[in-house]
Each structure stands twice: as structure tokens, then as C-alpha cells.
Structure 1
Amino acid sequence: MDRRASTDEAEIDQIWPVKPLDTASRVKLDGWNPPKYSVIDRNGTGSDGRRISLLANHFKVNINVPDAVFYQYTVDVLQDDKSVRGKRICRKIIDKLYKIYHSDLGDRRFAYDGERTLYTVGPLPQEKLNFTVELEEVFVGCERMDNESSRGLSKRPKWSFSKHFKVGIVYAVSIPLKSIAVALRGAEAENNALRVLDVLLRQQAANRGCLVVRQSFFHNNSTNIVDVGGGVNCVRGFFSSFRPTQGGLSLNMDVSTTLILNPGPVIDFLMTNQNVKEARYIDWEKAKKMLKNMRVNATHRNMEFKIIGLSDKPCNQQYFQMKPRNCNSVINAQTVDITVSEYFSEYCGIKLTFSSFFPCLDVGKPKRPIYLPIELCSLVPLHRYTKTISPMQRVSLIERSRQKPPERMQVIEDALKNCCYGADPVFVDCGISIDDKFTPVEGRVLESPKLKVGNNNDCIPHNGRWNFNQKTFLKPIDIDRWVIVNFSARCDTSRLSRDLIDCGRNKGMKIECPLALIEEDPQQRREGPCTRVEKMLELIRLKYPRAPEFILCALPERKISDIYGPWKKKCLSEFGVVTQCISPLKISNQYLSNLLLKINSKLGGINSLLAIELSSSIPIITDAPTMILGMDVSHGSPGRSDVPSISAVVGSCYWPHISRYRASMRTQSPKLETIDALYKPVLSGEDDGIMRELLQDFYRSSNYCKPKQIIVFRDGVSNTQFNQVLDIELVQIVKAYKHLGETDIPKFTVIVAQKNHHTKLFQANAPENVPPGTVVDTQIVHPKNYDFYMCTHAGMHGTSRPTHYHVLIDEIGFSVDNLQNLINSLSYVNQRSTSAISIVAPIYYAHLAAKQMAQFIKLEDNMSETSSGGITCDGKVPVPELPRLHQVVESSMFFC
């Protein structure tokens, strides 16, 4: 699509009328009963491609006592008649209980989840049991340093436990081990026995002192821990979970990594995290955000606390009220004001040094603070780090996590041996044994699709890659009016423009000399990013009342710059100009060639097309107007529940082509995975949802054809959310289609793509990664549902992770081979690269669009810590509207 073309709403209305619905019609549509969609079964396996012998990291599970029964019990742990919560303390209590009362439990070993559920193989002697447990470890309390002491009460904090605990165990339900056979027939509802087995895995890891993160386990072993900078370490562990497959029950084991804090003094962590040499240079506002919710050990008491914030004043100025130790009267006790420094000096015998002048750590509650000097606190070992990491930390994490296939296989084998699952007493009781050999699997390697580039030349990918150096774009765009703006003091823009023009000529693009090279005033570099952007655009407006077609922007820093978000927002939503940002430290001929791939796509050009796409011979797709959707949701950083999520959907244009897309985005409630704005009726009776925009653009660009077939690729949902995709999202798409006045409903094929899984494929007779196009649809797949694994990219570093595709419905009626070849081909249409990607391009584009819009409005930076002041009466955080794109660029591939 040419960048100069814009959506003519009047033209659309004439051919595809969009009349606002009256109240009665809207109520009728909202109350309309849509078709009931359900997940389909597998309809066979594919046959295309050459055969290849593979190994999968699934280990066969044998059940030698199929008649065994798990008995589930509800556990209540009480202290002073109040429930005790916390997996670590509860596990210690139950472990001690078994040591003392194992005979009363019939010597039955159990699996305990650390909360309220316990499983045994066979019943306990009684259905209801009560015990009293006394821990040898005593948690020592301390005086409460808060305003509650003003009432003359000397209290122990709620987190301080006494020695004695009451434990009640009550029978709940029995779970036959043979119910696994039902799961192996594909019944999702009958997987309670599998959950019991996964609890067993978690318990065993917890008993070995591992950090347990769902089904991943990390041991505090120095050989597995690597520093990634900023006081954060990468720790390598393993993932372990039971899976029902076509070949029977298997144990899926894989290498897993997570981030932990470097244990030690809190002050040392802050200095490392902020890269300062002395504590007096610490930025305490940043420290407050960083430390929130971290757990520390108070060395003077050997107790663990969670940080909720920092004190307003330093230790030697922060007062609290307390009752003097020599006052015995409770009712008429007089309180005194004392500083934190004085308290520790007089009552604890601890003379504070440097921390007297620093804020205290607040480990209490919002209205009942408890202050601890920072020099007495250390971060606990194996403390998981869940906050946003910097670009450099991310690069370091990726580097440290990579493992070549042979190394990864060896690590998995060693982990399986070290776990000693065969010696676990509960596994022994139910007759479960696990093979130690990787599962052999037969895969197929699909042929790479042929590409067409400029001058009708063929481009044949080799090992998932193709060379564009001696080739021109299929449809190059000429650039007449463009501007270079420079926020960097290190970028030579005059040389940049010459090199870009020369490189464009080699790709078939005619690029005129830029209208201007606009340098930022050095004095403005001290101002905020929004101000810098506004002043730069004001210069362009003054010089050129008629906006340029394109702006090339040199950012001041590598990776993500503070300029990026405000710049994109102004250019795409207000200025209406396509823009490309560059990093001044990486300019080279290859860099410029890759840059032109993005620029040409953003301006409406086409770099390459599939040969079958150019000849309109894609099976099924060319038979009827077919629209392809890619859907994704981007969430805020971990721990930020106040940051709205961004849903992004891209839709194909210019049928029968499948390489051109436009995007539509909306904000939605934080952490909500289901897209709720696909259909969005407003008071006027119109539809302001995502699908209306995409359907109209498809109609306008596809020679006024309405889609009769819609293929939906959905990313980011788990197996338990499949029905939500069909019952909520698919129904919204249908309603949006009917809102346009249509009575016939298109045929749908809905496919979920998962990257967040732990199945790996290895070549049986070679140390390299599996070749691009490798597909597996037998043995390790679901026993009943229609799924398969496909690895479409060339894994150059580490071990390739295949994408797990689940076909939820297929009304269109693809054959297995046609669908797998289509998915393989859609991994080659990414216009911004010259290599096949690991997931279909529509999903990749949706991810890029959501990610860019998150930067686009800088949600996380603009929403302050006090945003709770805007919470509505029902307790929900109000979701701000996403600024809409300017009509000049809304149909462009701005996200490339």
C-alpha cells in the first residue's frame, strides 16, 4: 500500500455500509446467541517433507501399580487460633509432624504442596487427625516500633511465631492413579492425578533447599550462578513436569533459568545496582522502588522481613513512640519519642555507623511502620528478582543462558540422575519409575518456500536465510521529502544521508537529498525528553509547513533511549509522519541495508513476496477472500499491577497477498490476557473496536472483497485459556462482522502459538540444531487435541525452541500438510529481516506493535506511585485510552 493512500471513509460507506445501529438493533446483537465453538480433535498427521530422526526431552513414565489411589487431605496449620501462611514455615511444621507422629500416620509418606493440601498413597488411619507441633527453631520477636505502642502495649509482630502449632488433617477426596489413563485419552478434566505428581516434584525440590518457581527448581550452587550486573545473578536450574502424550505419560525435563539477587548487605546491593562507589551517592527515590517487596534478614535478630518502603527521614531523625522498658503499668503507661538510632543504641546495644544518616527500611504495614537500619539488613539467598531488567542485563542473561544442543542434553541427563526420582518413597508406593533415555521421535523437514524480489528474480533461502546484498526490493518506494534529525553528538548526519542514498540506490529505491539535517541545540540536551522532542518538531514545522513524508531520527544512546517513546508518540499520533530511529554507534553498510528493509516496508513498499503469493497460488487462501489475523497482549513490567496491558491485532491486507498487514491497538485492564476490545459498541451505536478497523482496511485494499475466511493466530494463552479464545474473542470477531450489516459468518480457523514451553528437539545423529522447517506431530503431542511442534528458524546460538501450535477450530478445512506448509511459509514473510523467524509473522507483528505502543505512551514512567488515588469506587485502576494513530500512518506498517 502506498503511503500517500489514506482510508476514504465515505468510499467505504458507499460499498460496505456502516450505519450506526439503533438501540433495538444493538440490544438484539448483544443478546444474539453466537455459534458454540469447541476445541476440535486431531484429524491426522502430515506427510510432506523429508524424514529426520529426533530426540525429545520427554522421559517415559511407567506405572507398575495402576490400582494405587491418592487420598487428598485438607491441612490447617494454626498458631494462637490463627491460620499460618507461608510455604517454607508450613513445610517445616509438616516435616516435623511426620518425624514425631509417623506411626499415627500409618507410616505413610505424603506429598504436601506447602499450603492446604496433602496427598498420600492409600488412606491415613483416620479421616480426621489433630496434632500439636513444637519447632526447635524459635522465631524471636522484638518491640514494635510504630504508633500502636502509644497505647502502652508491648506487642509481637504478626510475623513472629511462637513454638507451638496446631495441625488439623481432614480427608477430602480420593484420586485413583488410573485416572491418568483417562488423561492419556485426552480428557482435560481428568488430570487430578497429574497434579498430585507435579506436587511431588515440587516437594522433593523444596526438601533439597531449592527455590521453587512453579515447576522450575533452582539450587544455591555456585557453579550454577553467574553475575549479570546491577547486583543481579542468573541462576540455572531445571524444569520438571509430567505430560500426557500420544506415546503415554512422560516426564518433561529441561534446563531453566531465573534471576536472583546477589545475597549480602542491602547497602552493597544498592551501590552495585546504581553503579556508585560510595553510599552517599545513592539515589534513594530509585532505591525505594527497587527495594519494595524484597526480603531481608535482620542480622541482629536473625529474622526475615519484607520491605514495603523507606522512612521519610534518616535513622537519627526518624522518631517513633514506645513505652519505656521499666514501665509496668499497661493502662496508664506513658510513651516517649525516640529516634531509631537511639533505640538501637540504648535498647539493643548496637551503635549505628553510616546508616544513621540514611533512611531506614520500613518492614511493617502502610499505617504501622516498623523501621530497621539498612546496615543491619542483608538480602536473603535465592531471592528471586522479578523487576524489569536493563537492556545490558538482558543481553548478559541471554548470553549466560545459551547452551548448545549436546551440552543441554548432558545437563538434562545429569539433572534427572541427581533428582533420584526412583528412590522417592511416594513414587515407590505408587509404582512409578522413569526411564533415563530421551524419547525418540520421527520428524519431517518441510521445504523452504521460494521468494520473489525485484526484477522478478528468485531468492532461494538456505538454512532459513537468504542474501539480499545483490538484489533489489520487489516494490521499492521513492522518497522525495524527508528530514534527518539528530539528537546525538556522535552522529555525522551528512555522511549518513549520503550513505543511505547510495545504499537505497542499490536496493532500487530513489532517495532524494534530505530537505534538512537538523541538529539539536547542545543546550537542550539537559532538558527532559518530551521537551527535547517538542522543540525538535517545532523546528521542522517552522521550516516546512508541509510535513515531510519520512523522518530519520538519530537517537542519543544505544538500545532504548528516553527520547524514543515521546518521539514515536508525537510523530505517529500528532504529526502523522512515518519515522525510523537509528543508533549512532552501529552505522555500517550492513546496518543501512537492514534499515532500508524497515523504511521501505513502513512507507508502503514490498521487499519480497512468496513466489506462490505473487502468482496467487496459495492453497485454500486464494480460493476465497481470506484474512489473516495475528493477536497478542503486552503486559506491564513484573510487579506493576497499575500499568494497563496493551492488546494488539494485525490484519492482512491486499488479498490474495499474505505479507502486508496493518495494526490496531487498545489498552485494557492490567494483566488481563483476554482481548476485550475486538468489538466495542459505543453510545452512538457505532463499533469502536479493533476488528472494525481491520475489516474495513481489508475490504478497501482487497478490491472491495469481504473476507469469507478468517485465520486467527493467537499468541500468549495457556491451555486453560483455549475456551476463552473461542467463547469471548472469537465471538467478538463475529459480532464485529455482523455489526457491519452482514448476515453470513465467515469460516474460521483458530490457531494458538505457544513459545513458553519446555519441549526441545535434538537431532539423533548430529550435534547441530534441528534444521528450519522441522515439524513433529506424533509421539510427544497431545493424545487427542490437534497440535504439533514446528521449528521454522535456524538456531544459530544455543538450542532452538520449537513453537507449539494448537489448532482449536478449522472450519475452513485445511489438510494437515496445507496448514503446516502455510505456517512454515508465514515465517518467511517478515519484511524487516532476511531470515525465517521462529513464529508466524502476524503474531510477530502484533508483538512489535504492542511493544512499540508501550514505549509510545511511556505508560510505566508516566504513572506515578500514587496512581492509586485514581482508583474507582469498585477498586479497579482506571485504564487510560491509547492515543490513536494519525490517519496518514494508521494503515502503514509503522511497527516494522
Structure 2
Amino acid sequence: MMIMMATVTMAATAEGVAVKFPFMKAINPNLTLPNRTSITILVLMYSFSVGSMALSFDLMDSFEHDGNGATEALPPPPPVPPNIVPLQAEPDHAPEPVKKKVMRVPMTRRGQGSKGQKVPLLTNHFKVNVTNVDGHFFHYSVSVSYEDGRPVDGKGVGRKVIDRVHETYDTELAGKDFAYDGEKSLFTVGPLPRNKLEFTVVLEDISSNRNNGNRSPGSPNENDRKRQRRPYQSKTFKVEISFAAKIPMQAIANALRGQESENSQEGLRVLDIILRQHAAKQGCLLVRQSFFHNDPRNFSDVGGGVLGCRGFHSSFRTTQGGLSLNIDVSTTMIIQPGPVVDFLIANQNVKDPFSIDWAKAKRILKNLRVKTNPSNTEYKITGLSEKPCKEQMFSLKQKGKDDDGEVQTLEVTVYDYFVNYRHIDLRYSGDLPCINVGKPKRPTYFPLEALKLNKYEAEPMLKSCGISIGTNFTQVEGRVLPAPRLKVGNGEDFFPRNGRWNFNNKKLVDPTKIDRWAVVNFSARCDIRGLVRDLIKCGDMKGIQIDAPFDVFEESPQNRRAPPLVRVEKMFEDIQSKLPGAPQFLLCLLPERKNSDLYGPWKRKNLADFGIVTQCIAPTRVNDQYLTNVLLKINAKLGGLNSMLSVEHSPSIPLISKVPTIILGMDVSHGSPGQSDIPSIAAVVSSRQWPLISRYRASVRTQSPKVEMIDSLYKRVSESEDEGIMRELLLEFYVTSGKRKPDQIIIFRDGVSESQFNQVLNIELDQIIEACKFLDEKWSPKFVVIVAQKNHHTKFFQPGSPDNVPPGTIIDNKICHPKNNDFYLCAQAGMIGTTRPTHYHVLLDEVGFSADDLQELVHSLSYVYQRSTTAISVVAPICYAHLAATQVGQFMKFEDQSETSSSHGGMTSAGARHVIDIARVTKVVQIAFCVLFLVPESDAYPLLE
């Protein structure tokens, strides 16, 4: 029995407080306590129940307070009477055991496929042999700072500092080679002499190197000279190297047997860092896993002040055939070094600095690195000034102090300072904005002419690891799956040839009738009458009945110089005044084929404000093939169907035709690099009208910038009309599929890396399951989760042939994962260059597909994309999701342009971009982002009625 001191605080009366505790009756039936605010009692239990109210005691020492706040000691508690056994209260209900959530992990491979014609192939993987499996990598944390303790933030400085440490302190480092990742990690084979090392090194600019005597590099005082010399413009750095972890190389061997761990991933990372460091020492530019050598033959001018640079990508991979090194050709774009103003003139294709669009300039200049003239100091651009150089003021500190000892300042313009104080001749910067290289609240301004864009900066360790790399391509065995049979109009079936087909002399399987439409012309050079005549004629050949357009809306010449938003608004005013009702769609003629500034505001106005289907074209040469492609898009957007798989009509798709099945495609689109304030766009498309797998609808939401996991699949508490993406998609399937709930849900996810597979299985899938439970507690569908990756660097070739691999080529051996279920599929026919396959990872399969059935389904889904007459490189649901996200991305781009058009700042007053709230737009708009558009109700267009 435990005796505890506890405090009870209660309101006291003049007569005292009478307290009756059932478990204390044996001690004193009526215990009256003195009148005090806080009292100490002896209790035998620390909690009890009086009626329905539970009281708890806080442990404390034996002391009390009187009403004035003074503290006085209490007498000791009375002794516990003998033979007293306290009663223990039983809880009303036994607590339920906490269920520990079982984390899902990617499934293991059940087998390999066998269907298709076998074909020998080569791949750009090179075998890696690991002999020193008993060795260890030692991981050390690196801290690099300036002499005064400030952290180093300059790009590439850390690598230069660590190279100087290795060069200067070779003895202290026991002569060991090491691999440095350029940031905070350093790796060695075997340990360094001590777990913590501190060094001081001096790094001077290349332009300031001086001849410090005639000492030879091997002289006794050479290291001391390197440590102590401080030439002009030199900087001193402090370096701390601390032991962090020990990584056994055996972990890499374990990974090859499918026993992956954190150590095995870290070991492969070390190998990648060794290769990157070797490339850096050869003067290469490093961009993630790629490296580019400073050789003029590798550069090509692509226009707009940008250079294309060819190089190589490398990464170590664990495969069924062992460890391999994947090497691929890579290309990056770099800004052409030189004066900033020259770059902007070339980039915007203008004649002089006074014609530069500064809203566009701000977006492209942000985060670029520049150097000043003539001091050669490096900065990073953060923005532009609101005022021109001749008007932008700042406080210039004076040498003297006033009578109060305060530093005196003088308000001057940036232009006057550089001309009068720095004696720099500025020819045209006075009337142009300044470049800010400081912080938003503490700007540092430079005239445009004073800055120039940087030129980019320019392994024996593998042998010490016991690692050797082969020089021959890896041989693999592929299988070529036959193309699925397609059905078009008039009951005609056919097989695509070489992954392609056409609609010559063919009608669409489900054409629409177009009787309410109009033409909008923003282009002054187009023959509208001829285009409309040819479009109607081509539609008749495909089975699409097209009536004459209600009207042709020509843009007024006086509006063509107005901003894009104004041009669109003026056009819609004209449309609203003349159209008698809602059109089925609007055909819009744009002046430019690509990158038209009108595209974003026009699409937003149609989809977000009115829910109107629109087709934009910029025809330069109109022929039957061009018009056929346009009609395929229009027919699909209006709810028609161009072609379908013959097995859908039977229906005889394995494991899908007999059981209600919904197919989802999921993708997230992010803003461009450097645009951290633009929301990410999550798009999910779903199949409808089961057992068809050719019809889809879309649902789109915005979410936090740069967040890859979709957080709007299910909303637990709905404070608005938005209940999450999955509820509306599941209800749509139910309504269009004979009031059947899907018993199987097949999910295709795009845009995630291997490190995010567990998040897909345990975050996104959980939301989908909760959405199903919300609609029906007893509903437990089976799930299949497949991730598609295009941004990998594995390529396949036919030995002895310049041709690409045949469309339908599938590989599920040798270079695939040693344990997990994955395969490569090249469904498309490559037109230019080397065909890139799609890498599919099957993370979960509760349905129980065989390898052949699942691979055949994925292959067939590459033939149902309604905008194309070729097999596409990735399944259609993912392609539709990407298309939907791109459409909303045009809205984001339009918002960016509309906010930056009036000033150089490009931000709202609150510092964040205003974007469309996709969750609150009408249903017709949410489904309009998918190419297969559902025909809306007439009340969806209140503004056009």
C-alpha cells in the first residue's frame, strides 16, 4: 500500500469544511477540516470518484498557505490505524487496447511475365564489383564558417575550403582521401586520427594569388606557408570535422539480396559522392547527379541568352544482376555569362534596355549569381527596386559623427553614389530599376550596368574501397507485347501499327453534335471563313455534325496593344452582349503558337468564371491532319469518345470487366524553381461508366507550395462545401456505373521518388480508405497502387541496330529491383532520339494480378489517351492528371503576370500570391480540367443566359 501526500483546494466556510470520503470511514466517519484555503490530508489513494465527478490530487510537499500568502508548517499526519485495507475502485469500462497502426511497405515481386516475343537488348548500366565487403565508410559532419563565426553560404565555397584543408593538413588527416558532398557530410574509408578535428585555412581569390617565394611544394616549410600567408582579398575559414556514423560496406551487399536498410542507402550515397567529387576536381559543373565539363564543344547557344550544355548523369543502383552504375547523357541550361543587361536584351529579344519587360526580368533574374564591376564581389539577386536608379534613395554613412556621437548619414540616390562616389560611368541605368542583392527589408541596390552574370565554377578513392566498374553495357532480355485491338466508328476494329494509327476514312466511335459554338479571333492574319468551312467538312468525315458558328468575334485593333487581361475582358464583354445563350464551346484563335500571354487569362475566364469548353489554336498551315487533331480534342472535351479498346466493348479485361473497378491517375504540379510562393496543384482523374476504361473526369485542388503528398483526398471536418477529391470521384463512378460501388481501386501515381513510396502507401492511401469508410462503413474495396517514373536515366538499345526498341517492349529482369515488384515499359514508338521507357513500381496489389495480366493492363492503358493517335509513354490516367494540373498551372502563371505587370515587386501587399480557390469553383469547372469534359447543365452559365 502506497501512502501519498496530496493537496485539495476547496471553498471554505466560517464553520469549516466537512469532508466525507467513503474509503476514510474507518479512520474517522466525520472529518472536519479547519478553515484554510489549502489543506494537506493523508490519503491512501491518489484518485477517487464522488458521484460522476473524478477528483485528482497534485503531489506536493507538506506545507500550506494562509490567507495572506504566508507559509507555516503543518503537524505530522496521524498514524494509520491497524488492520485497515483500503478499497480499490474498479473502472466502469475496461480501457480498450490501443491498436498500433501497421505501416505498409512496398510489396515483393511475385513472379515475372512471360507473354510477348523475346528480344535481346542492351542497357546503359555497367556492372560494379565490390570485393571489400568487410570494410567501412566513416561519416563525418562538417562545419565551415568564417573567422568571425558567420556560416558560409557562397555556392562552391565549402568545396574549395575542404580541398584546401586536404591539401594543407595532409599529416593531421593521416594522408586519407575523403569524399565531400559540398555541404555538411564527409566520408572516408577507415577512421581519421581523432573523432573531432578543427582547422583554420586561408582561401584567396584567384585574381589575388601572388608569388610567395621560390619554395618547392615539398619543402619543410610548405604547409606552414600555406597556413599562414594572407595575400590581398584573402579570407580565413574555420573548419570542424566531427565523427557522425560508421557505415559497413556489407550493407551494400545485403541490399543486393533485397535486404535494404538505411545503411545500404547511405553506402550507395557515398559511392555517388565519390564520383561527383572526382568530376568536380576535373573542373566539371555539378547539377544534382549530373556533371558537365567546361569544354566549348559541349555548349550550344539555344537563344534567349541561354546556353545548352551536354554532360553525363551517373548513379549507383541495386539490381537483380548486382550493383550497377547507370550512366546517361544529360543536358542542362545555363545562363550565358556576361553583363546582366546583355542577357536581358537577348532573353526578351528586344533592341535596347528601355524595351525590357521588368516583370518578366524579375522572375528570371531571381536567385541568379552576379559579380560586381570592378571589385568582382559575388552576390545573389533577390529582386528589383520599385523606383528607377536616379530616384531610388538610400542612406549613405558619413565618416564623421555629430555632436551626440551618432553616425551621420546622407540621403543619396543609387545613381549619384555610383557616378560621384565610385566614379563609374553609367550610360543608361539612370532610368532603369536597380538590382537588389540584399534582403527585402534591408535592400542593397546596384545599377544594372555594374553587374555581370557569373561563369559557372569549374577517383582513386574507389580503388581503396575495393570497388571496380565494368566497361560493357549490361545485356538484358526484353519482351514485345502485341498492340491491343482498337474500336472506332461503324463497328470497325483494327490493330495499330508500330504504336500508331490514324483516322483516315474512319469515323469516331462516339462523335458529338456541335450546334452551339462561336469563333473568337485574336489573330489578325487568319482566314476565318476558310478555316470554319474546312473544320465543318473534316468533322463530317469523322462523324461529327457541326453547324455553322453563331458568330465570329473579331478583336478590335485598338485593343491589341492592351495588357492580356484587358484584351480578354473586352472580348467577353462583346461575347456576352451578342450570344443568346450558353455555347457548347468557343474556338479561340491566338496570335502565337506557343507562350501566348493570352492563353492563361483566356483559359481562366472560360473555365473558372463561366465553365465554357474552349479550344485554342494558332494555325500557320491548315491541312486535314491538323484539323483532325483539333477535332479529336474538341470531341473528347465535349464528352465524345474517339476510339476505345475492343476488350472494353466485349467486355473481357482480366479481373476488371467482371468486378466494378475504378482507375485513378494522380499527379502534383509545382511552380518553377525559385518560385517558392506559388501553390502546388494536385490533380486526380478517375474512370467512369464502368466497365469502360477510356472515359475519365478530373478533380483539382491547390495545396501548399512544393508539397508532393496530396492532402485533399479526404476532408474529415468540412467547414465548406469541399469534402475532398475522393468523395466526388467515387460518387461520380457510382452514378455513371449503374449505381455500383467499385470493389477494386487501381491507383496510378506520378511524380514521387523511391523515398516517398511509404508516404504514398501510408498517407495518401489512408485518405482514400477513409473516404470509402465515410460513404459506407462496411465498404472495403481492394487496392492496387502503382507508381510511374519517367525521370530516370535507364535506356535500352537493340544491339547492332540504330533503331529504337519496338513499342510494347517490357523488361522485368536483371536491372530491376532485387526484391520489389517493378518493370520497365516502352509503350510508345520513339520518333527522335532514344526512347525513354517508363519505370513502373507496383507498391500494393490486393487484387492478385498475375505479372502478365498487370503488365498487359498497363500496356493497354497507353492506347486510350483521346488526344493522341499514338501509344503514349505513360498510362492515360496519369497523362490526364498531368494535363489537368497543367491547365491550372496556366492560371497560376496568369496570376503571376497580372500581379507583376504594374510594378517590379510582383507580390501582393501581404507578400503572398492570390490564386484561384479550386475547391470552391463549380462542379462543371472541376471536371473541365480533364480532356474528357462532361456536358454541363444550362444553369452553370448564369452570366451567359
* Change beyond 3 A, Cα 1:47–1:103: same
Q: Deviations over 1:755-789 (max 9, x none)?
A: 01111111123111111001111111111111111
CA shift for structure 1 position 452: 0.9
Q: Which residue of 1 aligns with 2:164?
A: 96
Which residue in 1 is equivalent to 2:856?
821
Counterpart of 1:715 in structure 2: which amino acid?
D
In structure 1, the residue matched to 2:118 is 51
Q: Which amino acid aligns with 1:490?
A: R
CA contact (8 A) 1:791 1:802 kept: yes
Match of 1:261 among 335, 351, 362: 335
Question: Tell me, which stretches of 5 or more residues in structure 1 are unaligned?
Answer: 1-30, 141-159, 385-423
Query: Structure 1 residues 99 and 461 mapped into 2: Cα distance closer, same or farther (>3 Å)?
Result: same
Q: Against the structure 1 CA distance between its residues 882 and 821, is the aligned structure 2 distance closer, same or farther, given a 3 Å change threshold?
A: same
- Provide the residue aligned with 1:131 in structure 2: 199
| SS of alignment partner, residue 593 of structure 2 | coil
Bigger mean CA offset, 294-303 vs 85-94: 85-94
| Alignment match, 2:918 | 882
Per the alignment, residue 251 of structure 2 pairs with: 179
**Contact preservation (8 Å) 2:663, 2:686:** yes
The Cα of 1:363 is off from its aligned counterpart by 2.2
Q: Distance in 2 between matches of 1:427 and 1:63?
A: 10
Shift of residue 339 of structure 1? 4.7
- What does residue 419 of structure 1 align with? none
Contact 1:870 1:878 in 2 (8 A): no
Query: 1:718 offset after TM fit, Å?
Result: 0.7
The 3-state SS of whatever aligns with 1:567 is: helix
* 2:239 aligns with one of 154, 163, 167: 167
**1:225 counterpart residue number:** 299
- Verify the 8 A CA contact 2:400 2:408 in the aligned structure 1: no
Deviates more, 1:883-892 or 1:525-534: 883-892
| Partner in structure 1 of residue 323 of structure 2 | 249
Q: What is the CA deviation profile of residues 219-258 of structure 1, one whole-angstrom value per residue up to 9, with x for unaligned ones?
A: 2221111112111111111101111111111111111111
8 Å CA contact retained: 2:436, 2:446? yes
- Alignment partners' CA distance in 2, 1:377 and 1:349: 15
Give the aligned residue type for 1:182. Answer: N
Q: Give secondary structure in 1 for the equivalent of 2:732.
A: helix
Of the structure 1 ranges 877-886 and 494-503, higher mean CA displacement relative to structure 2 is found in 877-886
**Aligned residue runs from structure 1 range 399-418, under 5 A:** none
* Equivalent position SS for 2:267: helix
Paired position in structure 2 for 1:792:
827
Corresponding residue of 1:296: 370
Out of 555, 564, 575, the residue aligned to residue 520 of structure 1 is 555
Kept in 1, the 8 Å contact 2:123–2:794? The answer is: yes
- Mapped to 1, the partners of 2:608 and 2:409 lie a distance apart of 60
Runs of 4+ aligned residues of structure 1 deviating over 6 Å after TM superposition are 31-35, 326-330, 684-687, 876-879
1:724 paired residue number = 759
- Among 161, 167, 173, the alignment partner of 1:105 is 173
Residues 330/544 of structure 1: CA separation in 2 closer, same or farther (3 Å cut):
closer
Moved more, 311-320 or 726-735: 311-320
Q: Superposed, which structure 2 residues align to 1:354-369 within 5 Å? A: 354-369=428-443
The answer to whether 1:762 aligns with 2:797 is yes
* Contact preservation (8 Å) 1:87, 1:115: no
**CA positional deviation for 1:523:** 3.0
The 3 A distance-change label for structure 1 pair 326 and 809 is same
Look up the match of 2:185. 117
Cα deviation digits, residues 479-513 of structure 1 (max 9, x gap):
22222222222222222221111111111122222
Q: 1:492 aligns with which of 524, 527, 530?
A: 527
Q: Which moved more, 1:211-220 or 1:241-250?
A: 211-220
* Inter-partner Cα distance in structure 2 for 1:283 and 1:309: 14
The question of whether the paired residues in 2 share the 8 Å contact of 1:649 and 1:846 is answered with: yes
Question: Deviations for 1:83-109, whole angstroms, at most 9, x for unmatched residues?
Answer: 334452222222122222212211111
State whether residues 862 and 876 of structure 2, in contact with CA within 8 Å, keep that contact through their aligned partners in structure 1: yes
After TM superposition, give the deviation of residue 659 of structure 1 in Å: 0.2
The match for 2:667 is 632
* Cα distance in 2 for residues equivalent to 1:248 and 1:768: 28
Does the 8 A contact of 2:161 with 2:203 survive in 1? yes
CA distance in 2, matches of 1:367, 1:604: 52
Alignment of 1:376-775 (within 5 A): 376-382=450-456, 424-683=459-718, 688-775=723-810
TM-score, length-scaled by structure 1: 0.85
Q: Determine whether 1:76 maps to 2:143.
A: yes
- Looking at both structures, which has the greater relative contact order when contacts are Cα pairs under 8 Å and sequence separation is at least 6? 1
How far apart are residue 578 of structure 1 and its match? Answer: 2.4
Q: Whole-Å Cα distance in 2 between the matches of residues 829 and 882 of structure 1?
A: 27
Task: Indicate whether 1:215 and 2:292 are aligned.
Answer: no
Counterpart-to-counterpart distance in 2, 1:369 and 1:545: 55
C-alpha separation in 2, matches of 1:292 and 1:111? 32
**Structure 1 position 613, deviation (Å):** 1.3
In the TM superposition, residue 541 of structure 1 has moved relative to its aligned partner by: 3.8
Q: Which residue identity is paired with 1:111?
A: A
What are the Cα deviations for residues 256-288 of structure 1, in whole angstroms up to 9, with x where unaligned? 111100111112112212222223333444433
Find the aligned partners of 2:312 and 2:140 in 1 and give their Cα distance.
29
- The aligned counterpart of 1:195 is 269
Once the two structures are overlaid, the 10-residue window that deviates more, 734-743 or 621-630, is 734-743
Change (3 A) 1:361 1:488: closer
Q: Please give the alpha-carbon distance, in whole angstroms, between the structure 1 residues aligned to 2:283 and 2:760.
A: 39
Offset of 1:33 from its aligned partner?
Answer: 8.5
State the 1:43 CA deviation. Answer: 0.8
Q: 1:472 to 1:877 in 2, by over 3 A?
A: closer
Over the matched positions of the two proteins, sequence identity in percent amounts to: 57
**1:648–1:665 CA contact under 8 A, matched in 2:** yes
Shift of 1:318: 4.6
Q: What residue identity is the alignment partner of 1:62?
A: N
Alignment partner of 1:870 is 2:910: yes
Q: Which runs of 5 or more structure 2 residues have no equivalent in the other structure? A: 1-97, 209-231, 933-945
Q: 1:33 to 1:530 in 2, by over 3 A?
A: farther
Q: Look up the equivalent residue of 1:882 and give its one-letter code.
A: I
Whether the aligned pair in 2 keeps the contact of 1:139 and 1:162 (CA below 8 Å) is no
Q: Residue in 2 aligned with 1:276?
A: 350
| Paired residues, number | 804
Question: How many angstroms does 1:581 deviate by?
Answer: 1.9
1:870 deviation in Å?
Answer: 3.3
Distance verdict in 2 for CA 1:282–1:443, change over 3 Å: same
Once the 2 structures are TM-superposed, how far is the Cα of residue 600 of structure 1 from its aligned partner? 1.5
Indicate if the aligned counterparts of 1:636 and 1:860 stay in contact, CA closer than 8 A: no
The CA deviation at 1:467 is: 2.1
Whole-angstrom CA distance in 2 between matches of 1:479 and 1:333? 76
Cα distance in 1 between the residues matched to 2:809 and 2:375: 58
Question: Partner of 1:24 in structure 2?
Answer: none
Q: Is the 8 A contact 1:39 1:808 kept in 2?
A: yes
Q: Normalising by structure 2, report the TM-score.
A: 0.81
RMSD: 2.7
Compared CA separation, residues 383 and 681, structure 1 to 2 (3 A): farther
- Say whether the 8 Å CA contact 2:883–2:929 is kept in structure 1: no
One-letter code aligned to 1:51: K
Secondary structure in structure 1 of the residue aligned to 2:545: coil
Distance change (3 Å), C-alpha of 1:460 and 1:649: same
More helix by share: 1
How far is 1:342 from its partner? 5.0
Q: Is the 8 A contact 2:887 2:929 kept in 1?
A: no
How far apart are the structure 2 equivalents of 1:511 and 1:232? 45
Deviation of the 1:366 alpha carbon: 2.7
